[in-house]
Structure 1
Amino acid sequence: MKMLLTVEIPHEPFNSLVRGGKAGEIIGRILEAIKPEAVYFTEQDGMRCGVFLINVENPSDVPAFAEPFFLNFQANCKFRIVMSQEDLQKAGLEELGKKWA
């Protein structure tokens, strides 16, 4: 299933990794490992943030996506299930509306 992984990266240890020239290499290794479909970097609540569209086959896969960020950056990771327009069209909203109206 498609999930949106939002990673909030605190200033430390990231600032130290940037100063040491290691931040880019670590991010590159993580992206190679998690193979996101889309990657965006932004700011969120005053911290660095990465937003990744990932495909999670099994719940047991979640640690493989989160641990690299936890262990390298002491980051906070949030997972949200997402749907495409096609997924939403398959959801049967009309039938659900009739059932629950």
Structure 2
Amino acid sequence: MRVMLKATMNTDKTNEVIESGKLPKIVQDTMEQIKPEAAYFGAHNGRRTCYMVFDMQDSSQMPSIAEPFFSQMGAEVEFLPVMNPEDLQKGLANLR
């Protein structure tokens, strides 16, 4: 299932991770693990936030994906089911 990971990070904890030089490795490891079709980084409500859209094969993947964000950056993590335009068209066709 296509999902969007949204991780909104604690500023103080993430500052420590950035100062230690660990942030690039955490992001790289996550991206290698989930192989996102898209990844974006920015600010949401004044806090560092990343969004990654990827295909989740099984819900048992959630702990290993989310844990680095929880433990190292005090992040609030959400997994949201999402559709691309083709998925939407397929879903709408099933309404008829």
Query: Could you state the TM-score of these two structures normalised by the residue count of structure 1?
Result: 0.82
d(CA) in 2 for partners of 1:34, 1:68: 13
Q: Distance in 2 between matches of 1:64 and 1:35?
A: 14
SS of equivalent to 2:83: coil
Say if 1:3 and 1:80, in contact at 8 Å, map to a contact too. yes
TM-align CA RMSD: 1.6
Contact 1:34 1:64 in 2 (8 A): no
% identity of equivalent residues: 34
1:56 alignment partner AA: M
Runs of 4+ aligned residues of structure 1 deviating over 3 Å after TM superposition are none
Any gaps of 5 or more consecutive residues in structure 2? none
- Give the gaps of 5 or more residues in structure 1: 96-101
Alignment of 1:2-21 (within 5 A): 2-21=2-21
1:65 to 2:94 alignment? no
Q: Provide the rounded CA distance (Å) in 1 between the counterparts of 2:23 and 2:89.
A: 41
Q: Larger Rg: 1 or 2?
A: 1
| Cα offset, 1:24, TM superposition | 1.8
